[in-house]
Structure 1
Amino acid sequence: MTFSLRDKYCIVGIGETSYTKKSGRTVLDLASEACQKAIEDAGLQRGEVDGIVSFNFNDSVPAISVATALGIPQAMYAVDYASGGNAANLIVLAAVAALEAGLATHVVCYRAMNGRSGFRLGGGREMKAAGITQHTAPYGWITYPQAMAMWCRRHMIRYGTTSEQLAAVAISTRANAVANERAMQRQPITLDDYMSSRRIVDPFRMLDICLESDGACAVVVTHRDRARDLRQKPVHIMGGAYGGGPNQGDDLFDALRWPEHARNYSHYIAADLWSSAGVGPKDVDVAEIYDCFTYSVLMQLEGFGFCAEGEGGPFVQAGHIAKGGRLPVNTHGGLLSEAYIHGFNHVLEAVRQLRGTAGANQVADARIAMTTAGAMTCGSALLLRN
């Protein structure tokens, strides 16, 4: 899925809660706080919002519940996507579609979860011989680390990718988190720290895997003509794409039929993404790349064309994704070190970078930012500009 509505719609407000291991709050309360902050940040009143969109994995609250809690008088467009982190940019594209169709005037998009103290994505799936599970569970393909370790190992086999190169992703994003007061993990790490961290499932160590987090994020999307009268400098949506490649399977764990596990969704949506915005990889000043695991950053750097296939490891090891590098990546610390709000916190960081309000991690003269979401067969991406 692509669209050709370059710069017609804007992100005009952002909001988030604190990121913790134990919020002590309901998911509805978290979602309401983030949405209210985003609405206030935009300079809007709740009565002016008439659209609300979210995604969840049976671990959140419906959009209509949040609309009710906020006191939105008419939620003309209230939609929930049953989806994982691959939908973090899709809900912004859905907001654009609703605005273009005249179904709403101001749309708030959010993701809220008690991902550590409540429903934990890191837990195992129900062990029963049904569907694809009957073919994967007997071989230990049950949890996300186990499933994605296979993708990482394939990349290592095909291209010679090393643990030291995976470590470069973890070390770089943690260095960014050190300067981010919102980040859950701010202690600097070294290669020795990475190598000595606990092994989870080969080839992953603990520092290869994103955090489990409680929290919520939200943004407000509206037409550029309305954005001119609002509080914040608008961030324009240049383009976006959602989709994946062939043989995606029956569910998120059914990657057995995928043609090449050293290549993920990004390879298949890259052309649509760049053509939708009329720019290319060399035009991107800062990228917030979905880092549920370190390996996914390498695959997306390759798939979206920032480096050649098989060169993701050397690219990060050379320091190109560091704050002063060729392509600063995950300037807030990413899902590995800031928080894992299913990737939606990447969108907020991209907005901060383009507003020039990212503090110590601000990329100088950032004009175009990219956000991605997805690690396996399906995903989404946005290109934003100031």
Structure 2
Amino acid sequence: MVDGWPRDRVAIAGVGWTEYAKDSGVSTLTLASRAVSRALADAGLGHGDVDGVACHRVGDSVQAVLVAQALGVRDLRFHLDMFGGGGTSHQVVAQAALAVASGMAETVVCWRAVNARSEFRMGGTGRAAPDALEFAYQLPYGYATPPQQYAMLARAWMHARGAAPEDLGRVAITQREHALLSERAMMRKPLTMDDYLAARPIAEPLRLYDCCLETDAAVAVVVTGAERARALRQPPVLIAGAATGGGHWLFSNGREDPTVSAAADLAPRLYRAAGVGPGEIDVAELYDAFTFLVPLQLEDYGLVPRGETGGFYADGHARLGGRLPVNTHGGHLSEGYVHGINHIAEAVTQLRGAAGARQVPGAETALTTGQPGYVGGTCSALVLRRDR
């Protein structure tokens, strides 16, 4: 155990996806059940092997225990139904890994299922405001949606770094290039800088292509002990390290500089738990609800020196074949928005060497992150490692 983390003792043994769509036509229970069943089949396991279930949601999906009932789990040894946005996405998998390492459970399935386009639109205003104190001071001014909140953060970050719109555009364009190589991606047309700059504004400085997709989908991963995983169908991917942290609860909790996220506090603990440094990361899957969060996290996780991310993208280092490929599946901007867990699934795929045309050659270590703490007040991340 390092900083309380069971390094390399727990693995991800299976991954499963539903179709990414604008209208799934089914319930979130059906989406979850499909993704879980596919992840189990990928691992070579059945529903009867599951004794733990874990998910996160924000009042927009089905309870974990109901999915367990649908799967026919008779003796549920561990369940976690975590309330929270994308900042909790990686914490769900970390908690499942701790349950396995402690012996509370043997096989835990983690997922996110959401009809975020056709049903319960993420950040929509057609329902009651979240039960957060600061919303009482925002709603009278019509300041309520994620693009509005993140736009102010984006403007502050751009001003502090001297970033231009083109710097954000390169993030969107690079991820679109990657998405074109993924059979699951929702966005199937190339994106040019002219397209990006001509797109309609959503909330200044954010344009259309700065914002993540609204997606109906589910993604699941199977967590079990590393030794057990080695006897299953797929090459195991070890959970080398995990960490959770705090964040900016909106904008008034005493974090003086909004251009540095809570991930900067979390990162040293994460790398210490995994036994690696940022220079050993081969591929990065970084939470990208909005474009500026990607270069911000490159800085805060120590992958690129602060203020140098513009050149990093301009020189092609984030592309496939570059120094550190970022969001190789297209991310939330171009593949689909499944609230963080599709980043974990892509990291697993890369470390298995199974990503096809978008494969990063020789990838051994991946960083995958949840939302870095803004608005929701929490952040989480994993370092995954190919089993040697």
Does the 8 Å CA contact 1:2/1:242 hold for their aligned counterparts? no
Check whether the contact 2:237–2:351 (CA below 8 A) recurs between aligned residues.
yes
Closer/same/farther in 2, CA of residues 207 and 3 from structure 1, 3 Å limit = farther
Q: List aligned pairs for 1:165-314, cutoff 5 A.
A: 165-245=167-247, 248-249=248-249, 253-255=250-252, 257-314=254-311
Provide the rounded CA distance (Å) in 2 between the counterparts of 1:130 and 1:150.
19
CA distance in 1 between counterparts of 2:245 and 2:378 reads 5
Secondary structure of the corresponding residue to residue 259 of structure 2? coil
Contact 1:369 1:383 in 2 (8 A): yes
User: What SS does the aligned partner of 1:89 have?
Assistant: helix
Q: Partners of 2:298 and 2:340 in 1: how far apart?
A: 16
Return 5+ residue gaps in structure 2 as ranges: none
Q: Is the 8 A contact 1:10 1:235 kept in 2?
A: yes
Counterpart secondary structure, 1:351: helix
Aligned counterparts of 1:296 and 1:2: Cα–Cα separation in 2: 27
Shift of 1:254: 4.8
Residue 101 of structure 1: how far off its partner (Å):
2.2
* Structure 1 position 58, deviation (Å): 0.4
Structure 1 counterpart of 2:320: 323
Is 2:373 the counterpart of 1:372?
Answer: no
Tell me if structure 2 keeps the 8 A contact 1:111–1:342: yes
Letter in 1 for 2:368: T
Give the equivalent residue in structure 2 for 1:156.
158
Q: Work out which of the residue numbers 340, 344, 351 in structure 1 matches 2:341.
A: 344
Matched AA of 1:345: N
CA contact (8 A) 1:2 1:273 kept: no
Using the aligned pairs only, state the percent identity.
Answer: 47
Correspondence list, 1:84-123, <5 A: 84-123=85-124
Distance 2:357 2:67 in 1: 33
Uncovered stretches (5+) of structure 1, i.e. residues with no partner:
none
Deviations 1:284-309 (A, max 9, x none): 11110001000000110000001122
The offset of 1:257, in angstroms, is: 4.2
The Cα shift of 1:96 comes to 1.1
> Which residue is 2:17 aligned to?
16
Q: Distance in 2 between matches of 1:337 and 1:3?
A: 36
SS in 2 for 1:88: helix
Q: Is the 8 A contact 2:6 2:98 kept in 1?
A: no
What is the alpha-carbon distance in structure 2 between the residues aligned to residue 269 and residue 65 of structure 1? 33
Q: What do residues 294-331 of structure 1 show as CA deviations (whole Å, max 9, x unaligned)?
A: 00001100000011222223322222111111110110
Alpha-carbon distance change, 307 to 128 in structure 1, aligned in 2, over 3 angstroms: closer
The answer as to whether partners of 1:209 and 1:293 remain within 8 angstroms in 2 is yes
Q: Secondary structure at the match of 2:172?
A: helix
Residue identity in the other structure for 1:380: S
Distance, in Å, in 1 between the alignment partners of 2:363 and 2:348 is 10
Task: Name which of structure 1's ranges 70-79 and 57-66 shifts more when overlaid on structure 2.
Answer: 70-79
Output the TM-score relative to the length of structure 1. Answer: 0.95
Tell me how far 1:127 sits from its aligned partner.
Answer: 6.2
Seen in structure 2, the aligned counterparts of structure 1 residues 110 and 128 have a Cα distance that, compared at 3 Å, is closer
* Rounded Cα–Cα distance in structure 2 between residues aligned with 1:138 and 1:268: 33
1:53 counterpart = 2:51: no
TM-aligned CA distance change 1:140 to 1:107, over 3 Å? same
Separation of aligned partners in 2, 1:241 and 1:316: 27
Separation in structure 2 between the aligned mates of residue 92 and residue 374 of structure 1, nearest angstrom: 14
Letter in 2 for 1:383: V
Q: Describe the SS at the equivalent of 2:292.
A: helix
- Matched residue type, 2:285: E
Q: 1:130 to 1:308 in 2, by over 3 A?
A: closer
- Note if contact 1:53-1:108 (Cα within 8 Å) is conserved in structure 2: yes
Q: Deviations over 1:190-231 (max 9, x none)?
A: 100000011001000000000000010000011112112111
Aligned to 1:383: 383
User: Cα gap change, 1:106/1:127 in structure 2, threshold over 3 Å: closer, same or farther?
Assistant: closer
How far did 1:369 drift? 0.9
Gap change, CA 1:2 and 1:195, over 3 Å in 2? farther
> Which residue identity is paired with 1:57?
V
Q: For the Cα contact (< 8 Å) 2:9–2:101, is it kept in 1? A: no
After superposing the two structures, state which structure 1 stretch, 130-139 or 21-30, moved more: 130-139
* Equivalent residue letter for 2:190: P
1:70 and 1:257, CA in 2 relative to 1: closer, same or farther beyond 3 A?
same
User: Displacement of 1:179 after TM fit?
Assistant: 1.2
Indicate if the aligned counterparts of 1:128 and 1:134 stay in contact, CA closer than 8 A: no
| CA RMSD between the two structures | 1.7
1:321-360 superposed Cα distances (whole Å, 9 cap, x missing partner): 1111111011011000000000110011001001111011
SS of match in other structure, 1:66: helix
How far has the Cα of 1:126 moved from its partner?
3.6
Query: 1:113-153 CA deviation, whole Å, 9 max, x = no partner?
Result: 00100111131364699831222234443100000011111
What secondary structure, in the 3-state scheme, does the structure 2 residue paired with 1:123 have? coil
CA contact (8 A) 1:54 1:110 kept: yes
Number of corresponding residues: 381
Tell me the residue number matched to 1:333.
330
Partner Cα separation in structure 1 for residue 214 and residue 189 of structure 2: 17
1:142 maps to amino acid = A
- The one-letter code sitting in structure 2 at the alignment partner of 1:33 is R
Deviations 1:354-384 (A, max 9, x none): 1111011000011111100114252111111
Partners of 1:307 and 1:129 in 2: how far apart?
A: 36
Query: 1:79 & 1:207 partners in 2: Cα distance?
Result: 34
Relative distance call for 1:91 and 1:130 in structure 2 (3 A) is: closer
Does residue 137 of structure 2 align to residue 144 of structure 1? no
Deviation at 1:255, TM superposition (A): 4.8
Opposite residue 385 of structure 1, the aligned amino acid is R
The answer (yes or no) to whether the contact 1:180–1:186 under 8 Å persists in 2 is: no
